[in-house]
Amino acid sequence: MSEKLTPLEQNPEGIGYLPGLAMDFVIFGFDQYQLKILLLEYRNTNLFALPGGFVRENENMNDAARRVLSERTGLSDIYLDQFYTFGDLARYDQAPLRTIMQAKGLNPTDDHWLLRRFVSVGYYALIDFRKAAPTPDPLSDNCIWYTLENLPELMLDHKAIAQKALETLRADLDRKLGGYDSWAAPLLPKAFTMGELQKLYETILGQQLRRSSFQRKMLSLDILERLEKQYSGGAHKAPYLYQFIMDK
Amino acid sequence: MSEKLTPLEQNPEGIGYLPGLAMDFVIFGFDQYQLKILLLEYRNTNLFALPGGFVRENENMNDAARRVLSERTGLSDIYLDQFYTFGDLARYDQAPLRTIMQAKGLNPTDDHWLLRRFVSVGYYALIDFRKAAPTPDPLSDNCIWYTLENLPELMLDHKAIAQKALETLRADLDRKLGGYDSWAAPLLPKAFTMGELQKLYETILGQQLRRSSFQRKMLSLDILERLEKQYSGGAHKAPYLYQFIMDK
Protein backbone atom coordinates (compact mmCIF):
# COMPACT_ATOMS: atom_id res chain seq x y z
CA MET A 1 0.00 0.00 0.00
CA SER A 2 1.47 3.34 -1.04
CA GLU A 3 2.44 5.58 1.86
CA LYS A 4 3.73 8.23 -0.54
CA LEU A 5 0.44 9.83 -1.59
CA THR A 6 0.47 13.59 -1.70
CA PRO A 7 -1.56 14.94 1.23
CA LEU A 8 -5.00 15.93 0.00
CA GLU A 9 -4.71 19.57 0.97
CA GLN A 10 -1.89 19.82 -1.61
CA ASN A 11 -3.57 17.49 -4.10
CA PRO A 12 -6.41 19.48 -5.69
CA GLU A 13 -7.37 16.62 -8.03
CA GLY A 14 -7.52 14.05 -5.24
CA ILE A 15 -5.22 11.73 -7.17
CA GLY A 16 -4.94 8.33 -5.50
CA TYR A 17 -8.20 8.57 -3.53
CA LEU A 18 -11.76 7.45 -4.24
CA PRO A 19 -13.71 10.51 -5.39
CA GLY A 20 -16.62 11.90 -3.41
CA LEU A 21 -16.31 9.43 -0.56
CA ALA A 22 -15.36 10.39 2.99
CA MET A 23 -15.47 8.62 6.33
CA ASP A 24 -16.41 10.25 9.63
CA PHE A 25 -15.56 8.74 12.99
CA VAL A 26 -17.39 8.90 16.27
CA ILE A 27 -14.71 7.62 18.63
CA PHE A 28 -16.24 6.92 22.01
CA GLY A 29 -13.81 6.90 24.87
CA PHE A 30 -14.86 5.07 27.98
CA ASP A 31 -13.48 5.62 31.42
CA GLN A 32 -15.02 4.10 34.50
CA TYR A 33 -17.71 6.71 34.89
CA GLN A 34 -17.56 8.75 31.69
CA LEU A 35 -18.27 8.52 28.00
CA LYS A 36 -16.42 11.01 25.81
CA ILE A 37 -15.92 11.58 22.10
CA LEU A 38 -12.85 12.69 20.22
CA LEU A 39 -13.01 15.98 18.28
CA LEU A 40 -10.66 17.90 16.04
CA GLU A 41 -10.17 21.59 16.76
CA TYR A 42 -9.17 24.15 14.13
CA ARG A 43 -7.36 27.13 15.59
CA ASN A 44 -8.48 30.66 14.67
CA THR A 45 -11.70 29.38 13.10
CA ASN A 46 -13.94 28.40 16.03
CA LEU A 47 -14.60 25.19 14.13
CA PHE A 48 -14.76 21.67 15.55
CA ALA A 49 -15.27 18.44 13.63
CA LEU A 50 -15.38 14.70 13.98
CA PRO A 51 -12.17 13.01 12.84
CA GLY A 52 -12.49 12.00 9.19
CA GLY A 53 -10.62 10.48 6.31
CA PHE A 54 -10.61 9.21 2.77
CA VAL A 55 -10.21 5.87 1.03
CA ARG A 56 -7.18 5.16 -1.17
CA GLU A 57 -7.74 3.67 -4.61
CA ASN A 58 -5.90 0.49 -3.64
CA GLU A 59 -7.46 0.03 -0.21
CA ASN A 60 -10.55 -1.70 1.19
CA MET A 61 -12.83 0.92 2.74
CA ASN A 62 -12.93 -0.80 6.14
CA ASP A 63 -9.11 -1.01 6.12
CA ALA A 64 -9.00 2.71 5.38
CA ALA A 65 -11.22 3.25 8.42
CA ARG A 66 -8.81 1.28 10.62
CA ARG A 67 -5.87 3.21 9.20
CA VAL A 68 -7.42 6.60 9.99
CA LEU A 69 -8.54 5.45 13.42
CA SER A 70 -5.03 4.31 14.20
CA GLU A 71 -3.60 7.63 12.96
CA ARG A 72 -5.91 9.58 15.29
CA THR A 73 -5.68 7.40 18.41
CA GLY A 74 -2.38 5.51 18.20
CA LEU A 75 -4.38 2.32 18.73
CA SER A 76 -4.95 -0.66 16.47
CA ASP A 77 -7.16 -3.66 17.06
CA ILE A 78 -10.05 -1.70 18.57
CA TYR A 79 -13.81 -2.08 18.34
CA LEU A 80 -15.03 -0.39 15.15
CA ASP A 81 -18.37 -0.60 13.40
CA GLN A 82 -20.06 1.10 10.47
CA PHE A 83 -23.40 2.57 11.42
CA TYR A 84 -24.80 4.78 8.63
CA THR A 85 -23.87 6.53 5.40
CA PHE A 86 -24.74 10.21 5.11
CA GLY A 87 -25.61 11.45 1.62
CA ASP A 88 -27.82 14.52 1.90
CA LEU A 89 -27.23 17.43 -0.47
CA ALA A 90 -27.33 19.72 2.56
CA ARG A 91 -23.93 18.32 3.61
CA TYR A 92 -22.41 20.03 0.58
CA ASP A 93 -21.12 23.33 1.96
CA GLN A 94 -17.72 24.62 0.90
CA ALA A 95 -17.55 27.36 3.54
CA PRO A 96 -16.20 25.59 6.66
CA LEU A 97 -13.50 23.62 4.88
CA ARG A 98 -12.45 26.69 2.92
CA THR A 99 -12.14 28.60 6.22
CA ILE A 100 -10.02 25.80 7.67
CA MET A 101 -7.75 25.63 4.63
CA GLN A 102 -7.33 29.41 4.54
CA ALA A 103 -6.38 29.43 8.24
CA LYS A 104 -3.56 27.04 7.21
CA GLY A 105 -2.37 29.45 4.51
CA LEU A 106 -3.93 27.46 1.66
CA ASN A 107 -6.05 29.11 -1.01
CA PRO A 108 -8.10 26.38 -2.68
CA THR A 109 -9.99 26.95 -5.92
CA ASP A 110 -13.72 26.17 -6.03
CA ASP A 111 -13.11 22.82 -7.68
CA HIS A 112 -10.45 21.64 -5.18
CA TRP A 113 -11.09 17.98 -4.44
CA LEU A 114 -11.69 18.64 -0.73
CA LEU A 115 -14.40 21.21 -1.55
CA ARG A 116 -16.57 18.91 -3.68
CA ARG A 117 -19.70 17.07 -2.57
CA PHE A 118 -18.93 14.09 -0.32
CA VAL A 119 -21.00 11.18 0.82
CA SER A 120 -19.66 10.09 4.19
CA VAL A 121 -19.62 6.64 5.73
CA GLY A 122 -20.07 6.87 9.50
CA TYR A 123 -18.09 4.59 11.78
CA TYR A 124 -18.10 4.39 15.53
CA ALA A 125 -15.32 3.07 17.71
CA LEU A 126 -15.22 2.34 21.41
CA ILE A 127 -11.95 2.53 23.31
CA ASP A 128 -10.48 2.90 26.77
CA PHE A 129 -9.61 6.56 26.57
CA ARG A 130 -6.67 6.29 28.95
CA LYS A 131 -4.88 4.12 26.38
CA ALA A 132 -5.28 6.47 23.41
CA ALA A 133 -2.80 9.08 22.20
CA PRO A 134 -5.05 11.56 20.32
CA THR A 135 -3.24 13.08 17.36
CA PRO A 136 -4.54 15.86 15.07
CA ASP A 137 -4.55 15.46 11.28
CA PRO A 138 -2.66 17.83 8.94
CA LEU A 139 -5.46 20.41 8.82
CA SER A 140 -6.35 20.47 12.52
CA ASP A 141 -4.51 21.81 15.56
CA ASN A 142 -5.83 19.68 18.38
CA CYS A 143 -7.48 16.33 18.88
CA ILE A 144 -9.31 16.38 22.22
CA TRP A 145 -11.82 14.40 24.27
CA TYR A 146 -15.14 16.08 25.05
CA THR A 147 -17.85 14.73 27.31
CA LEU A 148 -21.21 14.28 25.59
CA GLU A 149 -22.77 16.93 27.83
CA ASN A 150 -20.23 19.56 26.78
CA LEU A 151 -19.84 19.21 23.03
CA PRO A 152 -19.04 22.45 21.20
CA GLU A 153 -20.83 23.35 17.97
CA LEU A 154 -19.68 20.94 15.27
CA MET A 155 -19.33 21.70 11.56
CA LEU A 156 -21.74 20.47 8.86
CA ASP A 157 -23.95 17.58 10.05
CA HIS A 158 -21.37 16.25 12.51
CA LYS A 159 -23.56 16.69 15.56
CA ALA A 160 -26.32 14.62 13.93
CA ILE A 161 -23.71 12.00 12.98
CA ALA A 162 -22.52 11.80 16.59
CA GLN A 163 -26.11 11.54 17.82
CA LYS A 164 -26.93 8.72 15.41
CA ALA A 165 -23.77 6.87 16.42
CA LEU A 166 -24.76 7.09 20.06
CA GLU A 167 -28.30 5.85 19.34
CA THR A 168 -26.94 2.93 17.30
CA LEU A 169 -24.36 2.01 19.91
CA ARG A 170 -27.00 2.02 22.65
CA ALA A 171 -29.48 0.00 20.59
CA ASP A 172 -26.82 -2.58 19.67
CA LEU A 173 -25.33 -3.16 23.13
CA ASP A 174 -26.98 -6.53 23.81
CA ARG A 175 -26.75 -7.87 20.27
CA LYS A 176 -23.04 -7.15 19.87
CA LEU A 177 -21.95 -7.96 23.41
CA GLY A 178 -20.90 -11.59 22.87
CA GLY A 179 -18.30 -13.46 20.87
CA TYR A 180 -14.92 -12.57 19.48
CA ASP A 181 -15.90 -9.10 18.34
CA SER A 182 -17.62 -8.02 21.55
CA TRP A 183 -17.53 -4.26 22.01
CA ALA A 184 -17.14 -4.77 25.75
CA ALA A 185 -14.22 -7.18 25.88
CA PRO A 186 -11.50 -4.51 25.32
CA LEU A 187 -13.00 -2.41 28.12
CA LEU A 188 -13.14 -5.13 30.79
CA PRO A 189 -10.63 -7.43 32.47
CA LYS A 190 -10.67 -10.98 31.09
CA ALA A 191 -12.73 -12.08 34.09
CA PHE A 192 -15.16 -9.45 35.35
CA THR A 193 -17.95 -9.05 37.84
CA MET A 194 -21.57 -8.43 36.91
CA GLY A 195 -21.16 -5.07 38.62
CA GLU A 196 -18.34 -4.07 36.27
CA LEU A 197 -20.41 -4.99 33.25
CA GLN A 198 -23.38 -3.08 34.65
CA LYS A 199 -21.23 0.01 35.22
CA LEU A 200 -20.15 -0.14 31.57
CA TYR A 201 -23.77 -0.32 30.40
CA GLU A 202 -24.80 2.51 32.71
CA THR A 203 -22.03 4.78 31.49
CA ILE A 204 -22.90 4.21 27.83
CA LEU A 205 -26.66 4.43 28.37
CA GLY A 206 -26.32 7.45 30.63
CA GLN A 207 -28.73 6.01 33.18
CA GLN A 208 -28.84 3.80 36.24
CA LEU A 209 -30.09 0.22 35.85
CA ARG A 210 -31.68 -2.11 38.38
CA ARG A 211 -29.18 -4.72 39.51
CA SER A 212 -31.54 -7.71 39.54
CA SER A 213 -33.11 -7.15 36.14
CA PHE A 214 -29.74 -6.31 34.56
CA GLN A 215 -28.27 -9.57 35.85
CA ARG A 216 -31.30 -11.56 34.66
CA LYS A 217 -31.12 -10.04 31.17
CA MET A 218 -27.37 -10.60 30.83
CA LEU A 219 -27.66 -14.23 31.86
CA SER A 220 -30.56 -14.77 29.44
CA LEU A 221 -28.34 -13.68 26.52
CA ASP A 222 -26.43 -16.93 26.98
CA ILE A 223 -23.03 -15.41 26.21
CA LEU A 224 -21.50 -15.33 29.71
CA GLU A 225 -19.76 -18.13 31.52
CA ARG A 226 -19.62 -17.98 35.31
CA LEU A 227 -16.25 -18.98 36.71
CA GLU A 228 -15.81 -21.21 39.74
CA LYS A 229 -14.96 -19.22 42.83
CA GLN A 230 -11.42 -19.54 44.12
CA TYR A 231 -11.74 -20.40 47.82
CA SER A 232 -8.47 -18.89 48.98
CA GLY A 233 -8.30 -16.48 51.90
CA GLY A 234 -11.26 -14.14 52.14
CA ALA A 235 -12.11 -14.57 48.49
CA HIS A 236 -15.28 -16.54 49.22
CA LYS A 237 -16.93 -13.24 49.91
CA ALA A 238 -15.92 -11.87 46.50
CA PRO A 239 -18.63 -11.61 43.82
CA TYR A 240 -18.79 -14.15 41.03
CA LEU A 241 -16.55 -13.57 38.06
CA TYR A 242 -17.70 -14.02 34.46
CA GLN A 243 -16.07 -14.27 31.07
CA PHE A 244 -17.45 -14.21 27.54
CA ILE A 245 -18.12 -17.59 25.97
CA MET A 246 -15.92 -17.67 22.88
CA ASP A 247 -17.19 -20.67 20.93
CA LYS A 248 -20.54 -19.14 19.94
CA MET B 1 -34.82 17.49 -10.42
CA SER B 2 -33.58 16.75 -13.93
CA GLU B 3 -35.24 13.77 -15.58
CA LYS B 4 -33.26 14.36 -18.77
CA LEU B 5 -29.95 12.78 -17.77
CA THR B 6 -28.37 10.60 -20.42
CA PRO B 7 -28.69 6.95 -19.37
CA LEU B 8 -25.42 5.80 -17.87
CA GLU B 9 -24.77 3.06 -20.39
CA GLN B 10 -24.53 5.83 -23.04
CA ASN B 11 -22.74 8.25 -20.72
CA PRO B 12 -19.17 7.00 -20.40
CA GLU B 13 -18.11 9.95 -18.23
CA GLY B 14 -21.00 9.53 -15.80
CA ILE B 15 -21.97 13.18 -16.20
CA GLY B 16 -24.68 14.19 -13.72
CA TYR B 17 -24.04 11.37 -11.23
CA LEU B 18 -21.91 11.10 -8.11
CA PRO B 19 -18.71 9.25 -9.07
CA GLY B 20 -17.83 5.88 -7.62
CA LEU B 21 -21.01 5.53 -5.58
CA ALA B 22 -23.67 2.89 -6.23
CA MET B 23 -26.66 1.63 -4.30
CA ASP B 24 -27.77 -2.00 -4.13
CA PHE B 25 -31.24 -3.05 -3.04
CA VAL B 26 -32.39 -6.15 -1.24
CA ILE B 27 -36.13 -5.92 -1.80
CA PHE B 28 -37.88 -8.44 0.41
CA GLY B 29 -41.35 -9.43 -0.75
CA PHE B 30 -43.62 -10.89 1.86
CA ASP B 31 -46.62 -13.03 1.17
CA GLN B 32 -48.49 -14.84 3.89
CA TYR B 33 -46.11 -17.77 4.05
CA GLN B 34 -43.15 -16.74 1.93
CA LEU B 35 -40.24 -14.35 1.88
CA LYS B 36 -38.79 -13.60 -1.55
CA ILE B 37 -36.24 -11.19 -2.99
CA LEU B 38 -36.28 -9.32 -6.28
CA LEU B 39 -33.51 -10.05 -8.79
CA LEU B 40 -32.53 -8.71 -12.20
CA GLU B 41 -31.82 -11.24 -14.94
CA TYR B 42 -29.53 -10.57 -17.90
CA ARG B 43 -30.41 -12.65 -20.95
CA ASN B 44 -27.67 -14.58 -22.75
CA THR B 45 -25.21 -14.04 -19.91
CA ASN B 46 -26.35 -16.38 -17.10
CA LEU B 47 -25.94 -13.38 -14.79
CA PHE B 48 -28.26 -12.30 -12.00
CA ALA B 49 -27.93 -9.25 -9.79
CA LEU B 50 -29.61 -7.27 -7.08
CA PRO B 51 -31.38 -4.17 -8.38
CA GLY B 52 -29.06 -1.18 -8.17
CA GLY B 53 -28.76 2.46 -8.99
CA PHE B 54 -26.79 5.68 -8.79
CA VAL B 55 -27.16 9.07 -7.11
CA ARG B 56 -27.67 12.22 -9.18
CA GLU B 57 -25.54 15.26 -8.42
CA ASN B 58 -28.61 17.26 -7.34
CA GLU B 59 -30.26 14.55 -5.26
CA ASN B 60 -30.13 13.39 -1.65
CA MET B 61 -28.82 9.82 -1.55
CA ASN B 62 -31.83 8.48 0.36
CA ASP B 63 -34.14 10.16 -2.18
CA ALA B 64 -32.19 8.46 -4.96
CA ALA B 65 -32.80 5.16 -3.19
CA ARG B 66 -36.56 5.81 -3.11
CA ARG B 67 -36.51 6.80 -6.78
CA VAL B 68 -34.77 3.58 -7.86
CA LEU B 69 -36.99 1.47 -5.64
CA SER B 70 -40.06 3.03 -7.17
CA GLU B 71 -38.70 2.45 -10.69
CA ARG B 72 -38.16 -1.26 -9.96
CA THR B 73 -41.36 -2.00 -8.02
CA GLY B 74 -43.92 0.61 -9.08
CA LEU B 75 -44.41 1.39 -5.39
CA SER B 76 -43.71 4.50 -3.38
CA ASP B 77 -44.03 5.00 0.35
CA ILE B 78 -42.59 1.63 1.32
CA TYR B 79 -40.37 0.49 4.17
CA LEU B 80 -36.74 1.18 3.26
CA ASP B 81 -33.64 1.16 5.42
CA GLN B 82 -29.91 1.48 4.87
CA PHE B 83 -28.02 -1.43 6.39
CA TYR B 84 -24.36 -1.41 5.32
CA THR B 85 -21.92 0.13 2.85
CA PHE B 86 -19.72 -2.24 0.88
CA GLY B 87 -16.27 -0.94 -0.03
CA ASP B 88 -13.93 -3.89 -0.53
CA LEU B 89 -11.44 -3.78 -3.38
CA ALA B 90 -12.56 -7.29 -4.32
CA ARG B 91 -15.86 -5.78 -5.53
CA TYR B 92 -13.94 -4.12 -8.35
CA ASP B 93 -14.33 -6.55 -11.27
CA GLN B 94 -15.08 -5.21 -14.75
CA ALA B 95 -15.89 -8.61 -16.25
CA PRO B 96 -19.59 -9.14 -15.38
CA LEU B 97 -20.73 -5.63 -16.27
CA ARG B 98 -18.74 -5.71 -19.48
CA THR B 99 -20.45 -9.01 -20.39
CA ILE B 100 -23.85 -7.46 -19.65
CA MET B 101 -23.11 -4.35 -21.72
CA GLN B 102 -21.77 -6.39 -24.62
CA ALA B 103 -24.91 -8.57 -24.60
CA LYS B 104 -26.81 -5.31 -25.13
CA GLY B 105 -24.63 -4.40 -28.12
CA LEU B 106 -22.54 -1.88 -26.22
CA ASN B 107 -18.76 -1.89 -26.39
CA PRO B 108 -17.48 0.09 -23.40
CA THR B 109 -13.88 1.21 -23.06
CA ASP B 110 -11.92 0.24 -19.95
CA ASP B 111 -12.50 3.65 -18.37
CA HIS B 112 -16.26 3.72 -18.97
CA TRP B 113 -17.89 5.15 -15.86
CA LEU B 114 -19.87 1.96 -15.18
CA LEU B 115 -16.68 -0.11 -15.20
CA ARG B 116 -14.85 1.87 -12.51
CA ARG B 117 -14.52 0.94 -8.84
CA PHE B 118 -17.75 1.49 -6.90
CA VAL B 119 -18.51 1.63 -3.23
CA SER B 120 -22.11 0.52 -2.78
CA VAL B 121 -24.61 1.56 -0.13
CA GLY B 122 -26.89 -1.36 0.73
CA TYR B 123 -30.59 -0.74 1.36
CA TYR B 124 -33.28 -3.21 2.22
CA ALA B 125 -36.98 -2.79 1.59
CA LEU B 126 -39.92 -4.85 2.72
CA ILE B 127 -43.11 -4.95 0.66
CA ASP B 128 -46.22 -6.98 0.04
CA PHE B 129 -45.11 -8.69 -3.13
CA ARG B 130 -48.62 -8.97 -4.55
CA LYS B 131 -48.76 -5.17 -4.80
CA ALA B 132 -45.49 -4.70 -6.70
CA ALA B 133 -45.03 -4.45 -10.46
CA PRO B 134 -41.39 -5.56 -10.95
CA THR B 135 -39.77 -3.71 -13.84
CA PRO B 136 -36.28 -4.33 -15.28
CA ASP B 137 -33.78 -1.51 -15.72
CA PRO B 138 -32.29 -0.56 -19.12
CA LEU B 139 -29.52 -3.16 -18.95
CA SER B 140 -31.57 -6.10 -17.66
CA ASP B 141 -34.24 -8.26 -19.29
CA ASN B 142 -36.29 -9.44 -16.36
CA CYS B 143 -37.04 -8.45 -12.79
CA ILE B 144 -38.27 -11.50 -10.92
CA TRP B 145 -39.03 -12.74 -7.40
CA TYR B 146 -36.95 -15.61 -6.07
CA THR B 147 -37.49 -17.45 -2.82
CA LEU B 148 -34.50 -17.34 -0.47
CA GLU B 149 -34.06 -21.11 -0.77
CA ASN B 150 -33.75 -20.94 -4.56
CA LEU B 151 -31.49 -18.01 -5.30
CA PRO B 152 -29.37 -18.37 -8.45
CA GLU B 153 -25.69 -17.43 -8.44
CA LEU B 154 -25.44 -13.65 -8.11
CA MET B 155 -22.75 -11.42 -9.58
CA LEU B 156 -19.95 -9.79 -7.58
CA ASP B 157 -20.67 -9.76 -3.81
CA HIS B 158 -24.44 -9.60 -4.23
CA LYS B 159 -25.10 -12.85 -2.40
CA ALA B 160 -23.19 -11.59 0.64
CA ILE B 161 -25.11 -8.30 0.43
CA ALA B 162 -28.43 -10.18 0.42
CA GLN B 163 -27.29 -12.32 3.35
CA LYS B 164 -26.25 -9.31 5.41
CA ALA B 165 -29.57 -7.59 4.66
CA LEU B 166 -31.45 -10.64 5.90
CA GLU B 167 -29.37 -10.81 9.09
CA THR B 168 -29.93 -7.10 9.75
CA LEU B 169 -33.66 -7.30 9.08
CA ARG B 170 -34.00 -10.26 11.44
CA ALA B 171 -31.92 -8.63 14.17
CA ASP B 172 -33.89 -5.37 13.91
CA LEU B 173 -37.43 -6.79 13.93
CA ASP B 174 -38.29 -5.88 17.52
CA ARG B 175 -36.49 -2.57 17.61
CA LYS B 176 -38.09 -1.22 14.43
CA LEU B 177 -41.54 -2.71 14.91
CA GLY B 178 -43.26 0.25 16.54
CA GLY B 179 -44.16 3.81 15.62
CA TYR B 180 -44.80 5.59 12.36
CA ASP B 181 -42.01 3.88 10.47
CA SER B 182 -42.82 0.33 11.56
CA TRP B 183 -41.66 -2.20 8.99
CA ALA B 184 -44.72 -4.33 9.78
CA ALA B 185 -47.50 -1.78 9.39
CA PRO B 186 -47.62 -1.91 5.55
CA LEU B 187 -47.85 -5.71 5.69
CA LEU B 188 -50.73 -5.96 8.16
CA PRO B 189 -54.33 -4.72 8.30
CA LYS B 190 -54.79 -1.64 10.49
CA ALA B 191 -56.13 -3.87 13.27
CA PHE B 192 -54.51 -7.29 13.43
CA THR B 193 -54.43 -10.37 15.60
CA MET B 194 -51.40 -11.56 17.54
CA GLY B 195 -51.50 -14.62 15.26
CA GLU B 196 -51.10 -12.47 12.16
CA LEU B 197 -48.13 -10.66 13.67
CA GLN B 198 -46.60 -13.97 14.70
CA LYS B 199 -47.01 -15.37 11.19
CA LEU B 200 -45.15 -12.34 9.82
CA TYR B 201 -42.27 -12.87 12.27
CA GLU B 202 -42.14 -16.58 11.50
CA THR B 203 -41.98 -16.00 7.76
CA ILE B 204 -39.15 -13.50 8.06
CA LEU B 205 -37.23 -15.52 10.66
CA GLY B 206 -37.78 -18.77 8.78
CA GLN B 207 -38.75 -20.61 11.94
CA GLN B 208 -41.73 -21.43 14.14
CA LEU B 209 -42.16 -19.49 17.39
CA ARG B 210 -43.93 -20.46 20.60
CA ARG B 211 -47.25 -18.65 20.85
CA SER B 212 -47.10 -17.80 24.55
CA SER B 213 -43.57 -16.44 24.61
CA PHE B 214 -44.10 -14.51 21.38
CA GLN B 215 -47.19 -12.82 22.82
CA ARG B 216 -45.39 -12.03 26.06
CA LYS B 217 -42.45 -10.47 24.23
CA MET B 218 -44.62 -8.39 21.92
CA LEU B 219 -46.65 -7.02 24.82
CA SER B 220 -43.49 -6.20 26.75
CA LEU B 221 -42.30 -3.96 23.88
CA ASP B 222 -45.05 -1.54 24.85
CA ILE B 223 -45.90 -0.57 21.28
CA LEU B 224 -49.22 -2.41 20.83
CA GLU B 225 -52.64 -1.26 21.87
CA ARG B 226 -55.32 -3.91 22.39
CA LEU B 227 -58.70 -2.91 20.97
CA GLU B 228 -61.99 -3.49 22.80
CA LYS B 229 -63.84 -6.50 21.46
CA GLN B 230 -66.97 -5.77 19.44
CA TYR B 231 -69.73 -7.90 21.01
CA SER B 232 -71.84 -8.35 17.89
CA GLY B 233 -73.00 -11.77 16.69
CA GLY B 234 -70.44 -14.52 17.25
CA ALA B 235 -67.62 -12.04 17.41
CA HIS B 236 -67.02 -12.59 21.11
CA LYS B 237 -65.17 -15.75 20.16
CA ALA B 238 -62.85 -13.85 17.84
CA PRO B 239 -59.26 -13.24 18.99
CA TYR B 240 -58.25 -9.85 20.29
CA LEU B 241 -57.26 -7.25 17.74
CA TYR B 242 -54.23 -4.95 18.17
CA GLN B 243 -52.94 -1.83 16.55
CA PHE B 244 -49.63 0.01 16.78
CA ILE B 245 -49.51 2.88 19.27
CA MET B 246 -48.65 5.92 17.17
CA ASP B 247 -47.76 8.56 19.76
CA LYS B 248 -44.48 6.99 20.88
Q: What is the mean pLDDT of each run of 10 residues along chain B (248 residues)?
A: 66 91 96 89 92 96 97 92 96 92 91 94 93 92 92 94 96 90 90 95 95 95 88 69 84
Range of the domain at A209: 185-244
Q: Is the Cβ pair A89, B171 closer than 8 Å? A: no
Nearest Cα neighbor of A133 from A90, A196, A70, A186 is: A70
Are A74 and A123 contained in the same domain? yes
**Interface residue A179 vs chain B (CB under 8 A):** no
Please determine, for residue A188, whether its predicted confidence score (pLDDT) is greater than 50: yes
Q: Compare A4 and A192 and report the one with higher pLDDT.
A: A192
Looking at residue A215, what is its pLDDT? 96
**Interface residue A116 vs chain B (CB under 8 A):** no
Instruction: Give the Cα separation of B162 and B122 in Å (integer).
Output: 9
Are B155 and B223 contained in the same domain? no
Are A162 and A89 contained in the same domain? yes
Looking at residue B229, what is its pLDDT? 74
Residue A71 lies in a domain: yes
Please tell me which residue of chain A has the smallest CA distance to B118. Answer: A18
**Residue of B18, B113, B120 best to disrupt the A interface, most CBs of A under 10 A:** B18
Are B83 and B127 contained in the same domain? yes
Poorest-pLDDT segment among A23-37, A195-209, A227-241, B66-80: A227-241
Q: Is the Cβ pair B88, A61 closer than 8 Å? A: yes
Q: What is the pLDDT of residues B178-199, one digit of tens each?
A: 888 899 998 899 999 999 999 9
Other Cβ atoms less than 10 A from the Cβ of B17: the count is 22
Looking at residue A44, what is its pLDDT? 86
Are B34 and B129 contained in the same domain? yes
Average pLDDT over residues A188-198: 94
Looking at the complex, report in whole angstroms how far the Cα of residue A215 sits from the nearest Cα belonging to chain B: 18
Instruction: Give the Cα separation of A66 and B146 in Å (integer).
Output: 37
Q: What is the pLDDT of residues B52-74, one digit of tens each?
A: 999 999 999 999 999 999 999 99
Are B238 and B129 contained in the same domain? no
Looking at the complex, report in whole angstroms how far the Cα of residue A138 sits from the nearest Cα belonging to chain B: 25
- Give me the interface pTM, i.e. the ipTM: 0.91
Q: Is the Cβ pair B119, A175 closer than 8 Å? A: no
**Interface residue B16 vs chain A (CB under 8 A):** no
Provide the CATH number for the domain around residue B144: 3.90.79.10
Which band of pLDDT confidence, cut at 50, 70 and 90, is reported for residue A236? low
Residues in chain A: 248
Can you spell out the DSSP letters for B173-185?
Answer: TTTTSSSTT-SSG
Chain B residues in contact with A21 by the CB 8 A cut-off are 20-21, 87, 119
Are A106 and A57 contained in the same domain? yes
Are A81 and A23 contained in the same domain? yes
Chain A residues in contact with B18 by the CB 8 A cut-off are 20, 117, 119
Nearest Cα neighbor of B61 from A156, A24, A90, A23 is: A90
Q: Under DSSP, is residue B23 helix (H, G, I), strand (E, B) or coil? A: strand
> B171 in the Ramachandran plot: left (φ > 0), alpha (ψ -120 to 50) or beta?
alpha
